[in-house]
Structure formats: structure tokens, C-alpha cells
Amino acid sequence: MRGEVELTHSIQAIIFDADGTLVDSEVPSMDVIHEHAVALGVVCTRAQAHQQFRGVRMADCIAWIAAQLPHVPPGFAEDFARSVRAAQAVRFSEGLGVIPGAFELLGALQIPFCVATNGPREKVEMTLGLTGLHPFFPEHIFSAYEVGVFKPDPGLFLHAAKVLGVAPEHCAVVEDSLPGIEAGLAAGMRVFSLMPPAELPAALEDRVVTIRSLVELDNIFHRKG
């Protein structure tokens, strides 16, 4: 108990990723990109695609895919992004889940919190809206496309902290992907990692707090159970 109190005592704001952290959209998002890549002839398993693209901005995903193709037609990046975004929107509308514990955690928090995502605003607005989480974020949704810096660069998180009016060292980041974890650490923030421990680089193990779920994070902050 004492360790948990000390862990959260200095935290005055929380910055959440969206895909895979609050909304169960990471898997369908990566599936759509994988399906589109395979349709072009890219040889890549579903597992490889998820490892390659998780938490990575769309432009970098497309650049990797383009590098696998023998010929890249003019306008490929724009056309591919447009097609993937449209397909993802359809996939999301067919059913999108909330990460267990999200409603309870957000409803109980008494400190400022926000979303900071590598995705475009229209995507996060859609996923939060479809899952009923949007009312928790009436003002503070930060998109890397608008801020102009993408994880693992810490700039997105530093921008969010500045808007919230909280020093970086008093902010916590909740992330499920390596780029986001690296961005939080580079920003000098406390990082709670939802990544499976086996997938987290050994060099980062002692620098993050690994949690199994948002339910566990809720218990840490509100000392339940």
C-alpha cells in the first residue's frame, strides 16, 4: 500500500493514449492495414504486421509497405491512407469495445486527464464517440497531426502537459505501445505500461510501471481492494 501511495502522490495529471489503451481499436486498425498490404502482394503475417505497425504513425506504416513493393505508383501514400482510413471507419462501426476498466477509472479520477494520440482527430473522436468515452474528454484531445510531432518524440506529451498546466515530472502517461512508452520516458513523465512484459525491451523494464489492466491502475490510484 505504501509503495502505491508514494507512486501516485506526485502525479497531478494523466495522459492517456487512445488506441489499445482506452479503446479496443488497435487490433482492428492493424488488421485493416495488414489486409490492405497483403492485397498489394506484401508478404507479411498478421503477427508481423501488428508488431511492425503498433503505435506507429500511418505515414511510417505506409513507407514500410511501399518499401516492400517492386513498383510504387504516383500518389500511393495518399491513396493507401485514404483507403485504409475508410475501411477502418467501417470496421469500427461494426463493433468497437472499451478497454475493461476505462469507464470506472475515468469516472473516479480527481486530477486532470487527457488523450494524446498519434492518430488524426477524426479517428479518435470517432472511436471515443462509438464507445461512449467521449464525454470524459470535452476539451482535451491532442492529435499528433495537429501538434506536429509524433511519438516516440516527446513533443506531443509535453504539449499536453503545458495545456493542462502541469509540469512534465508530475504527469503520468498510460500507454500500450513502444513508441508511446518511449515518448513518455523522453518527456520525463511516469509511464504506466500496458504492453505485455515479454514484449517490453529489457532496458525499459525498470523505467516503467507495468500494469495488466486499467482495473489495476484504478486500484493503484484509488487504493481499492
* Res 67: pLDDT: 96
Instruction: Classify 120 as helix, strand or coil.
Output: coil
* Res 55: pLDDT: 82
The cell for 59 is: 505515414
Cα 8 from Cα 40, distance rounded (Å): 48
* Res 5: pLDDT: 47
The cell for 137 is: 474528454
Confidence check: pLDDT of 147 > 60: yes
Tell me yes or no: is domain 2-25+96-222 CATH 3.10.20.30: no
The model's confidence at residue 6, banded by pLDDT at 50, 70 and 90, is low
Q: Residue 196, preceding bond cis, omega within 30 degrees? A: no
182 and 152 in contact (C-beta within 8 Å)?
Answer: yes
Name the nearest CA neighbour of 102 among 153, 162, 11, 174: 174
Which residues does residue 172 pair with via DSSP β-bridges, in sequence order?
Answer: 14, 190
Query: How is the chain split into domains, by residue range?
Result: 2-25+96-222, 26-93
Cα 163 from Cα 82, distance rounded (Å): 31
State pLDDT tens for residues 18-65.
999 999 998 899 999 999 999 999 999 999 999 899 888 899 999 999
What's the order of all strands across the beta sheet hosting 209-210? Answer: 141-143, 113-117, 13-16, 171-175, 190-193, 209-210
Label residue 120 exposed, middle or buried (CB < 10 Å: 0-12, 13-18, 19+): middle
The cell for 1 is: 500500500
